Amino acid sequence: MSEQLLDLDPIGAGDTETLEVSMGPHHPSTHGVFRMDVRLEGEKVVRLKPVFGYLHRNHEKIAEHGAYLAAIPYTDRLDYLCSMTNNWGYCLAVEKLAGIPVPERAEYIRVIVAELTRFQNHAGLIGFLLQDMGASGTPLMYAFREREKILDLFESLSGARMMCNYMRFGGVRVDCTPAWLDEVRALVAVLPRFIDEFEALLRGNEILMARTQGVGVLPRDLAVSAGVTGPMLRASGVNYDIRKVDRYGIYDRFEFRVPLGDHGDVYDRYMMRLLEMRESLKILEQALRDIPAGPIMDPKTRLRGLRPKAGEAYGRIEAPKGELGFFLISDGSTNPYRYRVRPPSMINLTILEDMCLGHNVADVVIILGSVDIVLGEVDR
Amino acid sequence: MTALPTPEDIKAQIEAGIPGAAVTVITNGSPSAQHSLLLDNQHARDAAVFLRDHPDLRLDFCSLVTGVDWPDTETTEKIKVRKTVDGVETDVEEARKTKIPGYLEAVYHLFSMEKKHGPVILRVRTANRTDQTHVPSLTPVWRSAEFQEREAFDLYGIVFDGHPDLRRILMWEGFADFPMRKDYVPPADDRLAEVHA
């Protein structure tokens, strides 16, 4: 690959100022196996080409070879920090394709686990971002301390911390107990203190502001055209949250705000995550208050040997990283004819070069950190 | 959220707005009822710009781009043929095979961030799966298609004319085949070394 890239526009023979640096694939700041071919003039970035595919296992082909049910555990491994929302995106697409209803209690449980997922993803992202900035250890460990509590809840609910494999089309796999709901309530009651603490530690920190404000600006029009979604899009001031636009599941029942940024720089993207964590807690409080008793799955829903009528469906949700969509084509058999993931991490990388041009090479690391990518999803 | 016109209305608007454009509505039999519009390759990019800039539609957000492989299919029909067998005229059943050529398809899911509606689904098709696998690239219209069209090129072999940087994206340079195609045969284990070379 590298030869091909160099051939595109080689550095002139007499040019001794320009330097080609291959950042990654094994570099701590790339959050996995991801490479950037960066061309530098001094410290300034003049070209940047992302190179990925190192984790490619043709997830889509694997899913097309299995039954509809068999793809759910594989979706866990896309964005391996957010298996619950991945499950939901896929189940929503299958529910649209086959017209499967979801009972109310299952919808509430989905919202609860999805918002917990969003919380732990954003906390982790901020921790990693500060780690990339040189705040070695402390913020990341603070974030992971809280994340661990949420993963413990996932474990007691689904049996696994990260690879939850919890949702099914038509509902969820197992019901939650009243004791589990009380544990979530207790955790949600103390989490605001964690955000306060985190904010007190970082807000107004001069180094943080100097490193993030005005860095990696993503203009609004470019963000829309490039299909950027999630907190990154909203940091550029575009009010587009699929929980509000599509109102999938039962999101129309909750009161929450969609935080928006002004500048679209790294600082706004970082603040967006902090504010969204607070909104997630609001949704959690309402969901935990209103969750009804009842079934978690319609007994008539067929999980094994589901054969949807020939046709297609696109289902999408607001995953922590952006719009996660699944596009399915059925030919009437037990396997999807076409199974396609819309990976928010990968599409949000489209404008990485645009955001990095003209910045110092050290800023590339935090600009990439603010995009929030997981290579399991980028490469599939 | 504003209501989206029906696919038939959008078809009529495209055909009225772009002279010569031929649009076919493809109905979707699933409960999702997400119907799509098949564009002719010659006018696809004009139609895309038209949809993006249309004041009522404003489809500014191209969410998903994907390839789909539809291999050649063969249908067998039984027809009766009058033949003379051993001097006697009888009706003989003969199987007649019809080959329906396959194609590759690129599917675009469009939404509007401004009007908050969607999806409008566009499809463009290649002439066949072997030597005429070209469709126009819509990356000049929506930047978000850049990586996804590269992926469809990489995994399906659809060549997007006008794409600024059409290279493999997930597989490595030098890899010859298109692994998402339905007739792809993975290399045997003892051949892996040469494939990776």
d(Cα B143, Cα A143) in Å, to the nearest integer?
34
| Residue A32: predicted pLDDT | 77
Say whether pLDDT at A9 is over 70. no
Residues of A in contact with B63 (CB under 8 A): 227, 229, 316, 323, 325, 342
**Yes or no, beta carbons of B31 and A99 under 8 Å apart:** yes
CA of B70, closest CA in chain A: separation in Å? 10
pLDDT digits (tens, 9 = 90+) for A38-83: 888 888 898 888 888 888 988 999 999 989 999 999 999 998 889 9
Q: What is the ipTM of this complex?
A: 0.85
Asked if A301 contacts A100 with a C-beta cutoff of 8 angstroms, the reply is yes
Residues of B in contact with A338 (CB under 8 A): 66, 68
pTM, entire model: 0.87
d(Cα B161, Cα B172) in Å, to the nearest integer?
21
Give the DSSP per-residue string, A38-55.
Answer: EEEETTEEEEEEEE--TT
Return mean pLDDT, chain A.
88
Q: Which residues pair with B104 in a beta bridge?
A: B69
Residues of A in contact with B173 (CB under 8 A): 1, 3-4
pLDDT band at A1 (very low <50, low <70, confident <90, very high): very low
Burial A56-93 (b: 16+ CB within 10 A, else e): bebbbbebbebbbbebbebbbbbbebbbbbbbbbbbbb
Say whether pLDDT at B137 is over 60. yes
d(Cα A11, Cα A21) in Å, to the nearest integer?
12
d(Cα A284, Cα A220) in Å, to the nearest integer?
30
Residue type for position A71:
A
Residue located via tokens 């892996």: B192
Residue located via tokens 């564009």: B39
Structure tokens at A319: 């995953």
| Residue A103: predicted pLDDT | 92
Say whether pLDDT at A2 is over 70. no
Chain B contact present for A350, CB below 8 A: yes
Chain B contact present for A98, CB below 8 A: yes
pLDDT digits (tens, 9 = 90+) for A310-352: 889 999 999 999 999 999 999 888 999 999 999 999 999 999 9
pLDDT band at B58 (very low <50, low <70, confident <90, very high): confident
